[in-house]
Structure 1
Amino acid sequence: MGSFKGHVLPGTLFLVVGMWHMWCAIVRYISNPKSFRVRVWNPVPGFGGRLRYLELYVIAIGGFIDLCIEFLYSTHLKIFVHGVLNPTHMNNFEHSGMLLMFFIFGVITLLSEKTSFLPLPEGALCFIASAAFTAEYILFYFHSTTHKGLEGYYHLILVLLIGLCILFTITGALLPTSFPVDLCSGIAITLQGLWFYQTAFVLYGSMIPDGCWLKGDEITCRSTEHEIRGELLANFQLFVQVLVVLVGVVGAYIFAEPRFGRSTLVGSYNPEDS
């Protein structure tokens, strides 16, 4: 069983990175469709280049902070018991492994972009990012925490969204000039972040379905009918989130086209600039 904060913190990281990825993919494509290339990360323009690598720092530092919370704070430093990993906190150890992968991705990408020690092509960085998403997928699919009932259904949807992140990240390495692939990658990451939020508010917050409640470390429903109603509600919530994100993408494209399109005067915004 997780917690409200344990879902909101990673959800915020995924949501921010996903929205930034979608926006930059749209702007880069509108600016010059013929030279468009898939990017696993996007620099922040302006400010004399001081914020160019902000996204990577957010991923690396955010992942490291969350890693410390899961591995050190949540376990109260009781990591080993009788010479083995504390079985009481296996959930936290698994989360730590997932976060470690995203931290490694951020650090490797920073080394590749800022130094000459580890120069890697964009395709290789895409595969490293997909490895981090794969670790996350395996974590939630083979979780030591028994996800049953309504809790299991929300985490099943989360696993499906993580699978989409893996799919589009790998496809980005194989189709490096595809705008739809790059955009869908950002959409999948955004939806994952939103679903972390949705799970937090439904399972641990004020949006828990009628007839269900949090009892100890488990979500309990009064009857099978109440559980099914909660699952149907989850389907509707996912539909709303997909619709909102797609409307947001269309709105962002309409907003960006007259400002950053090819007909715009020289000096228009370009995420590659720093």
Structure 2
Amino acid sequence: MGAQSGDASSRPPSNGRRLSGNTGPNPLDSSSTGKLLVMGSFKGHALPGSFFLVAGIWWTGKYSLWHATRRNKSLGSTRLASRASQRRLEMMESSVILFFSFFGMLAEQFFAGGPKLQLYDFTEKHWELLMNWQHATMYLFFGLAAAVSLIIHTTEAAPLALDRLMLAIAFFNEGFLFLYHLHGRSMLDVHVHQLLLYAVFGQAGVAFLEVFHRGNIILELLRCTLTILQGSWFWEIGFVLYPPNGPTWDLQDHSNMMFITMCFSWHLAFAMLLVSVLHCTVGCLVRSRLKRTPPMEMGLLKTRERDVESEDEML
């Protein structure tokens, strides 16, 4: 097939450059140092891809539930997602993200021959596995965003909108590092990562808008869509650059670039469809649940909810 080639030269090139003019093995090349870059593999792309896919699906369900309860408050829907339950969900979510961010940093530093917190090798006079350091920095900013969110929802120490601002900064930092992460790579390798940047910077922009328009379901679902897109595209990058089975891709073929660009649009369509289906499903389930509520119980719920927080006070 013209889109693929078994030529070994089509494999992704090594990354990084020596700081000095010394000749010898490239310190950032896993083949020259015997160290395996954590994200420079199929599993290394599948892991963050799975994380973003799960996060996008989780956010879609959560925001759809909250939106449905706000729209049906007169039917007693706030018992399905009260302000207290929303706060608990935010705390649980932030704790999980903080844990996985910390685990990701540890994996980049200490697993599979990582730099083990050594940034510069003064003996060989070169930077030590900067790819791993960049990936760890990406995890660091998501961990910071999760920590701030946890503080916000457990104390009154910071304004509520700060969690969205920190999330926007985390996504922006991810895109910023990826933007300067591609020097010296093959044409298709650069292209698949450049396409990823559309999703990442899009998430940063949407999260920043949420600082000023919190609770806007359109912005929330758009962020969910871009998060799922980023997750599925990480998987696509893994299959293109590090195919687990079958022939390798020709990374210099322009036809492959055209196909991958079209494939990115398919991933976007899939993400939009998935978010739409989940949003409609959650809304239907909430309305169905409320319709089955006995009239006497509904009257008690309405009495109890007369003093419930206004929609602007909802998370």
TM range (shorter): 0.7 to 0.9
Cα distance change, pair 6–185 in 1 and its aligned pair in 2 (3 A): same
Aligned to 2:3: none
Q: Give the conservation status (yes or no) of the 8 Å contact 1:7–1:196.
A: yes
Give the counterpart letter for 1:120 in structure 2.
P
| 1:245 corresponds to | 271
CA contact (8 A) 2:182 2:190 kept: no
Correspondent of 1:259 among 285, 291, 302: 285
Residue in structure 2 matched with residue 75 of structure 1 by the alignment: 114
The residue that corresponds to 1:224 in the other structure is none
Match of 1:26 in 2: 64
Alpha carbons 1:14, 1:190 under 8 Å: kept: yes
Change (3 A) 1:115 1:44: closer
Q: Distance in 2 between matches of 1:113 and 1:12?
A: 26
* Cα drift, residue 60 of structure 1: 0.7
The change in CA–CA distance for 1:207 and 1:154 in structure 2 (over 3 A counts) is farther
Percent identity, aligned pairs only, is 20
Normalised to the residue count of structure 1, the TM-score between the two structures is: 0.78
Q: Secondary structure at the match of 2:129?
A: helix
The two structures, once aligned, show a CA RMSD in angstroms of 3.1
SS at match of 1:261: helix
Where in structure 2 are the equivalents of 1:1-274 lying within 5 Å?
Answer: 2-33=40-71, 53-73=91-111, 74-77=113-116, 78-82=118-122, 86-116=126-156, 118-121=157-160, 123-143=161-181, 145-206=183-244, 212=250, 220-221=251-252, 227-261=253-287, 264=291, 265=293
Structure with higher Rg: it is: 2
Q: Say whether the 8 Å CA contact 2:119–2:130 is kept in structure 1.
A: no
Q: Secondary structure at the match of 2:65?
A: helix
**Does the 8 Å CA contact 1:113/1:119 hold for their aligned counterparts?**
no
Q: Tell me the alpha carbon deviations over residues 47-96 of structure 1, each in whole angstroms, 9 at most, x when there is no partner.
A: xx6x7633212211111111111123342425431189952411111111
Call closer, same or farther: CA 1:206–1:75 in 2, change over 3 Å: closer
How many residues align? The count is: 245
TM-score, length-normalised on structure 2? 0.69
Q: CA deviation at 1:129?
A: 0.7
**Which segment is superposed worse, 129-138 or 168-177?**
168-177
Q: Distance in 2 between matches of 1:21 and 1:158?
A: 20
